[in-house]
Chains A and B, each alone.
Chain A
Amino acid sequence: MNIVSLFYLAFVVAVALVYFIAPRRIRWGILLGASLVIYLYCGRRMIVWLLLTSLSIYVGGLLIDRRQKRYLGQLEAGGELDKNSKRALKKKNERDKRCYAALVAAVNIAIWVTFKFADVFIETLNRCFSADLSFVHMALPLGISFYTLQAISYVIDLTRGKCEVQTNYFKLLLWLCFFPQILQGPICRYRETAHQLYEPHDFDYRRVKFGMQRMLWGFFKKLVIADRVVSVSDKVFGYSAKYQGVIFIIGALAYTIQIYADFSGGMDIISGTAEILGITMPLNFERPYFSRSIAEYWRRWHITLGTWFRDYVFYPLSISRASQVLSKHCRKLFGPGIGKMIPTYLAMVLVWLLNGIWHGAGAQFVVFGMYQGILIVLGMQLEPVFQWIIDRFRIRTDCFSWRLWQRVRTLALIMGGRIIFKAKGLSEAGRIFRSIFTTHNWWALTDGTIFKLGLDAWELFVLFVAVLVLLTVSILQEKGVHIRETIERQNLLFRWGLVIGAVVAVVLFGVYGINLDLTGFVYAGF
C-alpha cells in the first residue's frame, strides 16, 4: 500500500475513529487488527514470514526469560555459593541466553538473506560454474528489512536485560508489525515504543492536529518534491550514456534531494499517523544535509538504522575478545597509536559493509557502504592533518563561511555516494565520475539543456520554490524553532490560511493523477 494514496488516508481516518471510540482495554487490539489488515492487503501469503519471525522472537524471548529466571532461582537457592560458582553460573546463563538469541537471529537473518539474495546467489553460481540455474524471483515480504532488525534487537535487548519479556504473543506481534511503521521504518526498539502501543490513548485535540500537520508536511515532501525531481534523476541515471559532465552533477543533486524528500517525507507521514494515535515514533532524520562531516551525516540520516548497527554490531565487535586480541597484536606491530585504532576501524568497515548490504544485493551496494566507511575512517585519521592546515594557514573556524564550506564539502561527498547508489552498476558509476572530472560542459547550465532533463521551466520553477520552502523550514528547525508550536501561537486566520495553503499546494502541485502510478518510496523497496 502506498502511504500517499487516498486509500491510506481513508484507512487512517477509519482506524483513528474506531480506536478512539473503542473501549480502552481493547485499543491495542484495534491497532493489531489494522496492522494485519494492511499486511494482508499488501500480500496475503507474505504474512506467513511475519508470523514466523514474530513466533521465533516470542519463543526465543520466553526461553531467554526462563533461563534468566532459572539463573536467579539458582542464585537464590544456592544461598552462600562462592564467587567462582556464582561466576560460573552467570557465565553459563549468559552463554545460554546468547545461544537462544543467536539462534533466533540466525533464523531471521536466514529468512531475510534468502529473500533478498537468492537471485544474486544463483547468478553468482551460474557465473562461476557456468550453471544454468533459473532465478526464483521472490517478492520481498513487506517491511522484512525493517522488522527483521527489530526482531533481532528484541532478543538481544532481552539477553542484555534491557527490556522486559512480552508474554502475550499478539502484543509482540503488534510491536513488530504496527501498520504505519512496518511499511518503511523507523526501526523501533521494544523498550521505546512497545509500551506506547499497549497503553490506551485518548483523543487529544492538539496531538491529532499536530499529527495531521506532520502528515501534510510529509505529503508535501513526497508528492511535490520527491515525485517531481525523480524525473530528472531517473532520466540522467537511466539514460546516462547520453549525458556527460555537469549533467551528472545535476542528476546527483536531483537524486540527493529526491531520496531525502522521499524517505523523510515518508517518515513524516508515518510519524504523523502514529502521533494521531498517541504514539511517538523515534526520530529518523535530523536535517542530514546540514552535517559538517560524513560521520555527523550518518548520525542524522536514517538514525534508527545507524544506532541499530552501532548497538548491535559495532559495540559488540569493538569490545569482543577477538577485537582485544587483535588490538594487542596490532599495538605490537604498528605501535600504540595506529595499533589501537585498527580493530576499531575494522569494526567500522564491517558495519558499513553490512549497511551497504542491507540496502541491496550486489557489489554496487557493498561499494556504497564501503565508500561511506572509508570516508569516515579517513576523516578520523586525517583529522590531525586538517588541523595542521587550519593552524598553518590561520583559517577561522568559528565563522559562517567555514561551516558553509564544511557543509558543501560534506554534501559533495554525499552526492558521490548517491552516484554509486543510483548508477546502473559499478562500471557506469565509474564512467560518471570520470565524466564529471574530465568533461567541462558548464554551458549546459545555460543553453536550455536543463529543461530537457524531464522537467520543463514551469516544473523546475515549482520544484525550486518547493525546495526553497523545505530549506527554509529546515534552517528554522536547525536554529531550534519548533515549527508546529510556532504556527500554533499565531492568529487563527494566519494558521488556517497556512494549512489550507499547504493542502492546496500539495493537491495542486503534487505529482499524481489518473494516468500516473504513484511513485513508490525508495526505502519501501529495501
Chain B
Amino acid sequence: MSIKIKRAAGAIVFFMLLFATLAWVQEVVTPDFDWPEHNRRSLKSIRSAFNEPKGSIDAVFFGTSQTFCSISPMTMYDIAGVRAYNLASTNQRIPVAYHLLSAILHDQSPKLVVVDASGFFYTEKEMQSAAKYEEMVNSLPWSRIREKWTLMTEIAKLQDRENDWKYILSSVISLLRYHTNYRLTQRDNVEMYLKDLYQRKGYVATFDTVPVEKENYKIVKAMLDPNDDYASDDDRKEKLTDSIAANEPYLLNMQQLCREHGAQLVFMKVPVCTTTEHRGYWSFNKHEMTEALAEKMGVKFFDMCYEDIGLDWFRDSSDSGEHVNYRGTKKITARVLKWLQEEFGLSSEHNETWDRQWSYQSQVFAEEMEYLNLELEYDLVKYLERVREGDYVLFTIVSNGLGKYWSDEAQQAFEETTGTKFDLREKKNAAYVSVSSQGRIIEERNGKNACSIKVDLENGLNCKLSSKKTKSRSAGSIVIDGKRYDSPGQGVHFVVYDNKLGCIVDSVCFNTASKAVTAQQNTEYKEDMRLKIIEYVHGQMKGI
C-alpha cells in the first residue's frame, strides 16, 4: 500500500474516531431531563424508542406529563404481551407530537396511535413554544436528522430567525449548545447513559402519595358534571374553542400520516383531578369539544375522567391530582389496554427475539417497581407489614412527641415488626429510639424527655439515633454513616435499610399528631437508591 493511501486511510479513521468521541460527549452533556426540578422526564427515553427493533411496536402514546405518568407499556406487556411505547413529554404540543410521529414511523408500524387530549387545548401562542420544539430536537437521534432539521427550521421561523443558520446549526448539533453542561452533568445522567437502562418504554414512575384536597375534589366533580352550573359558566369556553381549532390542522396531519402508514389514530384522556388553577385541568367543556372533534375526524375517543376505573384520588396521586403515582398507573394502564383490545383488537405478534428482550426488561421493571413500591405505602399499619416482609434494618425515632393518633393497630404492627415490648403511648416512652431487623430489636432506648443510642451494626453500619419530646427543630435525628436520613416533621420516623441492596430504601415520617396520619418522605437518598436498585436488579437478572 502506498504511503498516500495509508495516510488517507489513517486520516479517515482519525476523523471517524474524533466524531464518534464528540457524538458520545454530546450524548453526555445534552440535558437528560427537560425540566430538571420537576417531573424529571427523561428525554433519552424518547430517544430509546428509536432503538427499539424495527416494526416491533404495536401502539404508541402521545400526550403530556399526565400521559407519561399514567401509561406504562411494561405493565401492558405484563398483562397482555402488547408491545407499546409512551412518547409523551412534558407539556407536549400537538405540532411537536406530529413531528415525533413522523420520525418514529420511519422505523415502526404501530397499529394504533393514541393521542391524549390534554394537549389539544394549548393556545396558538403556547403551541409556538420554541422550547418544546428544542426538547424534541434533542430527543431525536441522529438517524432522524431530517426531522431534527425540519423541527429546527420550524423553531427558527417561530422566532423570526429563519436566516440565522448558526442558531439552527447549534440547535441541531446540541453539543454546541449544551457543551457547558459538563459542570451540570449528574452522575446518574452519565451512568444511566453508559448502562443504557431506559427500559420503562417512556413511562415515568412516581411513588409519592399526595392526596387531592377534598375541596378541590368536589370542584373537579362539578367541572366534569354537564348539569352543573360550572359548565355553562365557564368563561374559558371561547378560548378553548379557539385552541382546539388551532390544533385541528395538526391532528388532521397526524391522521393523514397514520393513514399513509396503515395506523389508526385514536384519542383518549387520562384521568386528572385538578381545578382550573392548574393548566392540565379537565372539564365537561373540554370533553364535549374533544368529542365533537373526534366525531368530525372519525376518530374514537375514550375519556377516562368519566369512567370509574377504581382510582382513589386520595391515594393514587403523587401531586394532589395532576399526576398519578405507580398505583394509579397500574389501574389506568389496565383500563386503557382493555379498551384498546376490545375496540381495536390490539395484540402483538409473537416474535421470539423481541419477546425475549421484552420479557427480560419486564422482569427488571417488575423488580425495580417492587423495591420502589415501599415508598407508595402511606398507610402506617400496612407500611409496617411490608417492612416486616423484607430483609430490612428498621431505624425508628419518635420526634416532637408521638401525638394521639398512634392507634392500637399501629402499636401492634410496630411490636410485630420490631419485636419491641415498649408501648409508645406511655409517658415514659415520650422519647424513643430503636434499631430492629426482621422482628428483632437490636437496640432500643426510651425516655421521658430525651434519649439517644449509638450502634455499630454487624453489616458495618454505624448509626446514631436521638429523640426528644420538645418541639424544636432538632427534636430527633437518624444519622447513618455520618449522613442524616430522617424526614422533617412530628411523629414517628422510619428509615429502612435494605440488606440485599446495601442502601437506604425509604425514609418517612408518619405524622401521628394529625388525624389523617400523613406520610412525608425525605427524598435526598433517592438518587443513590435508584442507581443501587438498577445495579442490583441487573446483577440478579444477568443469569436469565
Contacts and interface: CB of A to CB of B under 8 A. Distances in A.
A507 B25 contact: yes
B22 A503 contact: yes
A385 interface: no
A503 B17 CA distance: 12
Nearest to A7: B166
Contacts of B17: 496, 500
Contact of B179 (A5, A500, A507): A507
Contact of B29 (A503, A508, A512, A514): A508
Interface string A482-526: 000000000000001001100110011110111000000000000
Nearest to B134: A514
A1 B170 CA distance: 18
Contact of A503 (B18, B167, B170): B18
B339 interface: no
Contacts of A508: 25, 29, 179, 182
Interface residues of B, number: 20
A507 B170 contact: no
Contacts of A513: 170, 176-177, 179-180
Given A496-B14, A503-B22, A504-B22, A6 B182 contact: no
A400 interface: no
A504 B166 contact: no
Contacts of A459: 183
Q: Which of B29, B171, B177, B179 has the most CB of A within 10 A?
A: B179
B175 interface: yes
Interface string B22-44: 10010001000000000000000
Interface in B148-167: 166-167
B173 to A, nearest CB: 9
Interface in A25-45: none
Interface string A449-490: 000000000110000000000000000000000000000000
What is the interface residue range for chain A against chain B?
Answer: 10 to 19
A514 B22 contact: no
B462 interface: no
A514 B179 contact: no
B253 interface: no
A315 B213 CA distance: 90
Contacts of B167: 514
Nearest to B14: A496
B170 A514 contact: yes
Contacts of B170: 513-514
B6 to A, nearest CB: 10
A175 B29 CA distance: 44
A512 B175 CA distance: 11
A205 B7 contact: yes
B523 interface: no
B25 A504 contact: yes
Contacts of A205: 7
A508 B176 CA distance: 8
A508 B175 CA distance: 8
Contact of B22 (A507, A509, A512): A507
B169 interface: yes
Interface in B237-284: none
B166 A6 contact: yes
B163 to A, nearest CB: 14
B21 interface: yes
Binding site of A, secondary structure by majority: helix, strand, loop or mixed?
A: helix
Interface string B200-244: 000000000000000000000000000000000000000000000
B161 to A, nearest CB: 10
Contacts of B179: 507-510, 512-513
Contacts of B18: 499-500, 503
A205 B2 CA distance: 14
A514 B182 contact: no
A416 to B, nearest CB: 34
Given A6-B166, A508-B29, A514 B14 contact: no
Contacts of A512: 176, 179
B131 to A, nearest CB: 13
Contacts of B22: 503-504, 507
Contacts of A458: 183
Contacts of A5: 166
A507 B175 contact: yes
A203 to B, nearest CB: 10
A510 B177 CA distance: 11
A47 to B, nearest CB: 23
A291 B127 CA distance: 61
Contacts of B25: 504, 507-508
A6 B170 CA distance: 10
A504 B182 CA distance: 11
A514 B183 contact: no
B160 to A, nearest CB: 15
A504 B171 contact: no
Q: Which of B167, B169, B183 has the most CB of A within 10 A?
A: B183
Nearest to B29: A508
Contacts of A507: 22, 25, 175, 179
Contacts of B183: 458-459
A514 B176 contact: yes
Nearest to B170: A514
A510 B176 CA distance: 10
Contacts of A504: 21-22, 25
Nearest to A518: B166
A33 B185 CA distance: 45
A314 B299 CA distance: 88
B25 to A, nearest CB: 6
A507 B24 CA distance: 12
Contacts of A499: 14, 18
Q: Which of B169, B175, B182 has the most CB of A within 10 A?
A: B182
A507 B25 CA distance: 9
Interface string B10-21: 000010011001
A507 B177 CA distance: 10
A72 B29 CA distance: 71
Nearest to A205: B7
Nearest to A492: B10
B416 to A, nearest CB: 51
Contacts of A509: 179, 182
Nearest to A5: B166
B166 to A, nearest CB: 7
Interface in B41-95: none
Interface string A207-229: 00000000000000000000000
Contacts of B166: 5-7, 514
Nearest to A461: B183
A500 B21 contact: yes
Q: Which of A458, A507, A510 has the most CB of B within 10 A?
A: A507
A503 B22 CA distance: 9
A86 B405 CA distance: 122
Contacts of A7: 166
A521 to B, nearest CB: 18
Interface in B93-145: none
A509 B179 CA distance: 7
Interface in A431-465: 458-459
A5 B14 CA distance: 22
7 contacts: A6-B166, A500-B21, A504-B21, A504-B25, A513-B170, A513-B177, A514-B167
Per CB-CB distance, the 7 closest pairs between chain A and chain B, nearest first, are: A458-B183, A514-B170, A514-B177, A508-B182, A205-B7, A508-B179, A500-B18
Interface of A: 5-7, 205, 458-459, 496, 499-500, 503-504, 507-510, 512-514
Given A503-B21, A514-B166, 20 more contacts: A6-B169, A458-B183, A459-B183, A499-B18, A500-B17, A504-B21, A504-B22, A507-B22, A507-B25, A507-B175, A508-B29, A508-B179, A508-B182, A509-B179, A510-B179, A512-B179, A513-B170, A513-B179, A514-B170, A514-B177
